[in-house]
Amino acid sequence: MSGSIDGRLVNRADLAGIFGVSVNTVTNWIEKGCPYVERGSNGVEWQFDTAAVIDWKIQRAVENVAMSAGDEGGKDSSKARREDADCRRAVANAIVAEIDADEALKAVVSRHDVVADMATFCQVLRTGLSNMASKVAGRAATMTSAPEIEAMAKAEMNRAFTAAREEIAQRWFAGRDPDHDAGGADRNPPAG
């Protein structure tokens, strides 16, 4: 395959998931020279470029095949192992291409984007619920019945949830045609 493949940045757990191995296996890869973008430390996650890791894995597989071929000296065995390495390379390239296609079709979202959006959602919700407490406290003093206080508290709580839902909907669906339905994959959240 000609040209370079653009990878994406992932942490150790995501890298382990992509390759179908354990996090301990990824740690062993690091000890054996697996390339990384940022070394993990307290409070900082490891960052890996998937394309660089795939290239590294392919190179190691080719080197292992070459060493095995040199040890055995058999042409048939060497050819079979070379074909096996080429097959693994093709599978790795197909995985990267599938990830790229999913990203281009917007069928997947970045974990970092979702974390940021959910943090904003929680912050808006927290602000709304904090405001609810002060509003309820101020108004409840003038009310005489428990059902009246409960109804007011529910209304304020619903207002906080609605504000948070609208904030996340604005982030996720901003600039889209409301009638756009990409196969049913993306839809505005239900009201209520």
Q: What is the pLDDT of residues 26-62, one digit of tens each?
A: 999 999 899 999 988 888 888 999 888 988 988 888 8
Q: Could you list the residue range(s) of the whole structural domain that residue 49 is in?
A: 9-104
What is the overall mean pLDDT for the chain? 81
Predicted pLDDT of residue 3? 46
Predicted pLDDT of residue 75? 56
- End-to-end Cα separation, the chain, in angstroms: 51
The confidence band for 162, taking pLDDT boundaries of 50, 70 and 90, is very high
Give yes or no: residues 82 and 169 share one domain: no
Give yes or no: residues 93 and 135 share one domain: no
CA 135 to centroid of chain Cα atoms: 38
- The mean pLDDT value for 106-120 works out to 84
d(CA 78, CA 71): 10
Count of the separate structural domains present in the chain: 2
Task: Confirm whether 49 is domain-assigned.
Answer: yes
Give yes or no: residues 125 and 43 share one domain: no
How does 138-174 read in b/e, with b if 16+ C-beta sit within 10 Å? eeeeeeeeeeeeeebbeebeeebeeebbebbeeeeee
- The mean pLDDT value for 73-95 works out to 77
Predicted pLDDT of residue 62? 84
92 burial class (0-12, 13-18, 19+ CB within 10 angstroms)? buried
d(CA 7, CA 150): 53
What angle do the packed helices 50-72 and 12-19 form, to 10 degrees? Answer: 50
- The mean pLDDT value for 132-146 works out to 86
Task: Confirm whether 31 is domain-assigned.
Answer: yes
Last residue of a domain, one of 74, 104, 134: 104
Give yes or no: residues 34 and 76 share one domain: yes
Task: Confirm whether 185 is domain-assigned.
Answer: no
